[in-house]
Copies of this chain bind each other. A is one copy, B any other.
C-alpha cells in the first residue's frame, strides 16, 4: 500500500469540494463513464464530467460530425444525449454506486431550461458539482450563444445557483470566442459561479476540397485538441490574473502531464481531458501520473503550490497580459 502514497499532495478544491486530484474528464468526451471504465477505474480521477445533459433526449447533428485538423479535431455532435430523465434513471446511479465524483454538465435553450435541469439534479445523489455549459444557443435571443454575452451567462448561472444545494458548486463553462473573456468570467462570478471551466471549443469550419463542401454536415464545429491549447492557456492566464481567487478548471488540448502542468501554472486548479481520450482511453490516468511526476521532479510537494505560479516570477510582481501581441 505504501507504494500508492503519492509523492506529491495532489488534492485540489473546486470551491469547497475537495477532489483527490486535479484531473477530470471533459464534458462530452467521456461518454457515460461506462465506456472508459472498461479501460481503468474512473474513481482514480479527480472527477468525471458527464456529457452535457439536456431536458429532452437529443439526436444531435447529422454526420459527418467530425474531421481531423492539424493537431486538432473539429466536431459537431450537437449534444446528442438521452435527456435528463434517462440520465437520472440510468447514468447517474451507475456513477454514484461506484462513488465516482461526478460533475454534471447541463445545457439548455433558455434560463428556464437550465434552471429546470438544476432543479431536477438538486435531489439526485452523486452530484459533485454542476457545470453550466454556456455554449448553447439562447432561443430567446435569436440563437445567440449564452457564453458570448456576459449578462446572459450571469443570468443562467445565478438562476442555476439559486436552485442548487449550497454544498454543490456551480461551475460556469466559458467559450474563447469572445472579445473579452475576463468580462464574461467576472459576470459569471458576480452571478454566483463558484468556479469557472475554460475553454469550450472555439468555432471552426473546414472545407473538403474534393467535394467542394464543408467537411461537417453542420458546416461549423468546435475545434479541440492540442491546436487550441495556447488559447486555453491564455484564457486561464487572463482570468486567473483578473480573478485570482476563483477556482479554474483548465480545458483544451491536454494530451500529456506537461500540458496539464502548463494550465496549472497559468492558474488552473484542475484540468479536464477531452480529445486526448479519443486517442488514448487511458489518457486521463496517464496524464495524472505524468503531472505528479513532473511536479515531483521539480520539487513540488503540493499541487496547490504550482497553481498560477507562472504569474509570480521570483522577486517580481505579477505580470500583466497585454491584449495585443503586437
**Chain A residues at the B interface, C-beta cutoff of 8 Å:** 52, 69-72, 74-79, 107, 133, 135-137, 143-145, 148-149, 177-180, 201-207, 209, 212-214, 218-223, 225-231, 233-234, 237, 253, 258, 261-262, 265-266, 294, 298, 306, 309-310, 313, 319-326
CA distance A326 to B137 in the complex (A): 8
Could you say which of B212, B221, B229 contacts A310, with CB atoms under 8 Å apart? Answer: B212
* Number of identical protomers: 2
In the complex the two chains form, is A204's CB within 8 Å of B233's CB?
yes
In the complex the two chains form, is B321's CB within 8 Å of A220's CB?
yes
- Known contacts A177-B179, A265-B212; A203 and B324 CB within 8 A of each other: yes
CA distance A218 to B260 in the complex (A): 22
CA distance A229 to B202 in the complex (A): 12
In the complex the two chains form, is B322's CB within 8 Å of A143's CB?
yes
In the complex the two chains form, is B227's CB within 8 Å of A70's CB?
yes
A10 to chain B, nearest CB (A): 16
Q: Which B residues lie within 8 Å of A133 (CB)?
A: 326
CA distance A144 to B171 in the complex (A): 28
In the complex the two chains form, is B202's CB within 8 Å of A231's CB?
yes
Could you say which of B70, B76, B313 contacts A226, with CB atoms under 8 Å apart? Answer: B70
Could you say which of B70, B233, B324 contacts A137, with CB atoms under 8 Å apart? Answer: B324
Q: Which B residues lie within 8 Å of A149 (CB)?
A: 179
- Known contacts A179-B179, A309-B212; A323 and B144 CB within 8 A of each other: yes
